[in-house]
Amino acid sequence: MTLLETVNLSKSYGAFPALDRVSVVVREGELVSVVGPNGAGKTTLVNLLTGLLKPTSGEVLFRGRNIAGMGPVELADRGLARAFQLIQIFPRLTVGETIAAAVISRQRKRWRLFSRLAADEEVYRRAAEIADIFGLGRRLDTLAAVLSQGEKKLLDVASAFALEPSVILLDEPTSGVSTAEKHGIMKTLVGAAARADVKAIVLVEHDMDLVATYSNRIVALAAGQVLADLPPDRFFADPRLVETVIGKRKDR
């Protein structure tokens, strides 16, 4: 079943085509990684998928409906969410309050003040459940700003999971994290998705080891166009393709 799809999606800034007729399909049960060198169009694609940008032309379809240009709040209500690094916006909130803010948004209780979050037993119970899924259950009362980098990454994604999405977009969820922690974080994210009944994940990632390990398909972008859309075994069997994606020069 197709959940998320782009059809001839293009985005230009003046005469510069940041994305050019990109067509991608994300189906139920898939983790699709989007890869490419700097300037390939990865961030533009994610911003179009999550409604932060409007396309110059083409469509973004979610469950068959055109959602191009819808804002992230409406898209989250429809079941498409993105990790937005809330801890950078609200560094003085605790882990529990950060997740609870997303729970409140999902439950359409946006008029409540953060000072009342702890008094709302339903909200705080749900926030605690989500924190447990991400291994943050013992950190509920800890300020987000003092977490380790790996814990901050998990909290970012936990907040997106609190929106109860059917599709979640993760933009380099392990960036800035030590190599030793990266696989642990990805295993937690994939396991949490299964427990939360997330139907599909779109992952933007530059770490090719993670891409090889966790992807069902790999969409490679270059110069704003789709260079390849392949399962991992076929993608990594093409050394020239891999070199292009990770930015190395081709052999002369």
Neighbouring CB atoms inside 10 A of 74's CB total: 11
Distance CA 61, CA 164 (A): 19
Distant-in-sequence, close-in-space partners of 195: CB < 8 Å, separation ≥ 6: 133
The verdict on pTM exceeding 0.85 is: yes
Query: Is the residue at 235 inside a domain?
Result: yes
Sign of the alpha-carbon torsion through 46, 49, 54, 60: positive
Query: Is the residue at 176 inside a domain?
Result: no
Query: Is the residue at 53 inside a domain?
Result: yes
CA distances 84 to 73, 98, 238, Å, are 12, 12, 34
CA distances 164 to 22, 33, 49, 225, Å, are 28, 21, 17, 31
CATH number at residue 59: 3.40.50.300
Distance CA 200, CA 78 (A): 14
Q: Which domain holds residue 42?
A: 1-70+198-252
Query: Is the residue at 93 inside a domain?
Result: no
Query: Is the residue at 34 inside a domain?
Result: yes
Q: In terms of Cα–Cα distance, which of 70, 104, 69, 72 is closest to 85?
A: 72
pLDDT tens series, the chain, 252 aa: 899 999 999 999 988 999 999 999 999 999 999 999 988 999 899 999 988 899 999 999 999 999 988 888 888 888 999 886 556 667 789 999 999 888 887 765 444 545 555 557 788 899 999 999 999 999 999 999 899 888 998 998 999 898 889 999 998 888 888 888 899 999 999 998 888 889 999 999 989 999 999 999 999 999 999 999 999 999 999 999 998 888 654 333
CA dihedral 239, 241, 242, 243 (to 10 degrees): 80
Query: Is the residue at 35 inside a domain?
Result: yes
Query: Is the residue at 98 inside a domain?
Result: no
Structural domains in the chain (count)? 1
Query: Is the residue at 241 inside a domain?
Result: yes
